[in-house]
Each structure stands twice: as C-alpha cells, then as structure tokens.
Chains A and B, each alone.
Chain A
Amino acid sequence: MTPLECLREADVIEAIASGRWPDRADADLRGHVASCEVCGDVAEVASAMSADSDAAWQEAAALPPAQVVWLRAQARARSAAAREAARPIAVMQALGLASAAGVISVAIGFIAYWVWARSEWLLTMPAIDPLALGSMGFAIRGTLLAVGLWLVLAPVAVYLVASDDWIRD
C-alpha cells in the first residue's frame, strides 16, 4: 500500500521554492525523489505549480486599486440598502390586498347566506323562478372560488416579486 505522505516532502517543497530543484538540489534528495512515489508526485506537481504561481503573480499586477473595489462595494451596498428599505412597502401592499380580498369574500359570504336564508320567502314571491335561484347559487360559488384563489395567489405573487429583487442583490 502506498503511504499518503513522506517525511522528506517538506525538503522537496523547500528546494523547489528556493529555486534549487532539480539541478542544485542535494544528490541525496534527488536520489530519494527518484525512488519515493510520494516525493516524486510532490516534485512533479509542486514544480509545475510554483512556476505557474510566479506567472500568475505577474498577471495579477494589473488588479484594480483598493479604492475602486471599496467604492464599487459602497455603491452596491447603498443600492441594496435602498431595495431592502423598499421591501416592507411591498409586504404592506401585499397585506393590504389580502385584507381587502378577505373583506370582499366575507361580504359575499354574508350576501350568499342572506339570499339562501330567504330563499323560501323568495320562492313564495310569484316573480322568482326556482331554476334562476339555483343558477344564482352556482354564480356565488364560482365567485367565492375565484376570490379564494386570488386571496391565496396574490400575496404569493407579491412575495415572489419581492424575493426576486432580493436575490438580484
């Protein structure tokens, strides 16, 4: 079974970091690396990475200055704060709409009950057709269903709009 590490890994890494690997490294260390699987992998990977790290360091010389990164972050935080401040208004609007829908449904319910409670009395009146009263019941049920759906969906829609705004931040 191949060991996961070797005591001489640090020596190999140190030789690579100091630029001694492989030509100016100890013959003893080179001999060890040639025979040790772990140190062989370390030498292969670390020397490639070390060279690439130097190149990447040069590329990173053209990064934006700290002031620009700071100012961009400030500008973004301000706009996020403005959106955050506007969110309670959207929530209040959603609550207002839901309350209005509730009041309307309760009113419709009362009217429906009132019509139903007086249906016998209405039937005694010669001008009312019982079939027409039945279809009025269907209409009331349909309206109540629509209002109920709206009551559930409207706040959900408003919430989704508000949360989407939040995600974009």
Chain B
Amino acid sequence: MRDTTLTELQRLAAEAESADVAFQMDEDAFRGFYDRTSRALWTYLARVTGDRQMADDLLQETYYRFLRAAAHHENDAHRRNSLFHIATNLVRDARRRPVALQLFESADVPALQVDGDLAERTERRTDLERAMAHLKPRERMLLWLAYGQGESHKDIAGTLGLKTGSVKLLLFRARRKLANVLRGGRA
C-alpha cells in the first residue's frame, strides 16, 4: 500500500489553506463516509482488478470523482452505491487502457511458504485469485459484491448499471463458472 509521508501531508495542508474548493460534502462528513466505505471499496477494487497498487490509485480517483460530482443522494446507502458505481466505471476505463491490461491476466500468483492454518488460508486465497483470473471483469464484480460483500441484487444492479432482474441469471452463470474452476474443472 502506498505510504503517505508527513512532508506530503504538510504540503497538502499548506496548499489547502489557500482556498477550499466546494465539494458535495464538507470534510467532517467526508471523514465519516470514508471511514464507513474505504475498506470495502478498496477490497472491491483490489479483488476485481487483481492489483493492489492499482486499487490504491483507483481508490483516490473514485473519492475525487465522487466529491466533484454534483449529485444529490437520498441516504447513505444511495451515496455508497454511487461511490461503487464510479469505482466500477473507473475499473472498466482502466481495462481499456493498454498499460492496465496485464493486470487482469495475472493467473500465476506464487504461493507463500508458511505452515498450519495460515498456509491453508494462503493456499485457498491463491486458488481463488487464480480462479478469479479466469473470469470476465463483470463476473468478478458480480461475485465479489454478492459473496465478498453480501450486497443485495438491487444494490449490485445499481453499482454495475444492470437491471435488477438480470442480476440473478448473470450471478448464476458467474457462480457456476467460478465453482467449476475452484473444483478444478474448466471455466
């Protein structure tokens, strides 16, 4: 994860004293919202792109675009859906850029040499990463939102820009595909 140095913080704070740009929420409200959403958003970005560094960059970009959007949100759930919708579009855009393409095809993740439960968990996670690399980005998004984050079909539809009715079928297909790969079958 990218480090934030004290120097950068001081520089940013000094710049911020000049004049604040109006965003859709103030700093205190943003802090609460960030604390409630940043971890879930980062894990979503990291698992969908398969690249932690890219997830760091996209996280910052997502919050920037969210703050700059002059959108009206009915409640916190709606606000959170908008945030994930922006993140999803950014992942799609990043995929279209040639430099990012390799990030979505990293099927060879080396296993760590550790013992006991940790080894089992690491192996299982590595298996999942390899299996996820066989899926299309939208399938990864669907599955992570449904089973990694426990989102409802309605929220998944809102985040991915799909009709609620089609989530069930798409999720079924993606789940079947991933289950087959995890069991050692063909995608």
Contacts and interface: CB of A to CB of B under 8 A. Distances in A.
Interface string A41-85: 110111011111101110111111111111111111110010000
Contacts of B42: 56, 59-60, 63
Nearest to B122: A55
B125 interface: yes
Contact of B35 (A48, A66, A71, A81): A66
B149 interface: yes
Contact of A48 (B1, B9, B128, B168): B128
Interface string A18-45: 0000000000000000000010111011
Contact of A45 (B30, B46, B178): B178
A55 B18 CA distance: 41
Contacts of B63: 69, 73
B21 A81 contact: yes
Tier of interface size on chain A: 35 or more
A74 B16 contact: yes
Contacts of A77: 21, 23, 64, 67-68
Contacts of A17: 150
Interface in B2-45: 2, 4, 8-9, 12-13, 15-16, 18-21, 23, 27, 30-31, 34-35, 38-39, 42-43
A5 interface: yes
A17 B131 CA distance: 21
A13 interface: yes
A4 interface: yes
A20 B170 CA distance: 28
B179 interface: yes
A4 B169 contact: yes
B84 to A, nearest CB: 15
B78 to A, nearest CB: 20
A53 B64 contact: no
A3 to B, nearest CB: 9
Q: Binding site of B, secondary structure by majority: helix, strand, loop or mixed?
A: helix
Contacts of B39: 57, 60-61, 63
B186 interface: no
Interface stretch (B94-102, B103-111, B140-148, B156-164): B140-148
B47 A52 contact: yes
B150 to A, nearest CB: 7
A76 B20 CA distance: 11
Contacts of B92: none
Contact of A63 (B1, B16, B18): B1
A65 B4 contact: yes
Contacts of B16: 71, 74-75
B179 A59 contact: no
A32 B31 CA distance: 45
Nearest to A54: B121
Nearest to B64: A73
Given A44-B182, A68-B12, A5 B23 contact: no
26 contacts: A4-B169, A5-B168, A41-B179, A44-B178, A45-B178, A45-B179, A46-B147, A48-B124, A48-B128, A49-B143, A52-B125, A55-B125, A60-B39, A63-B1, A63-B38, A69-B59, A70-B34, A72-B60, A73-B23, A73-B68, A74-B16, A74-B23, A77-B21, A78-B15, A78-B19, A78-B21
> Lowest 4 CB-CB distances: which A-B pairs, in order?
A71-B12, A56-B43, A77-B21, A66-B34
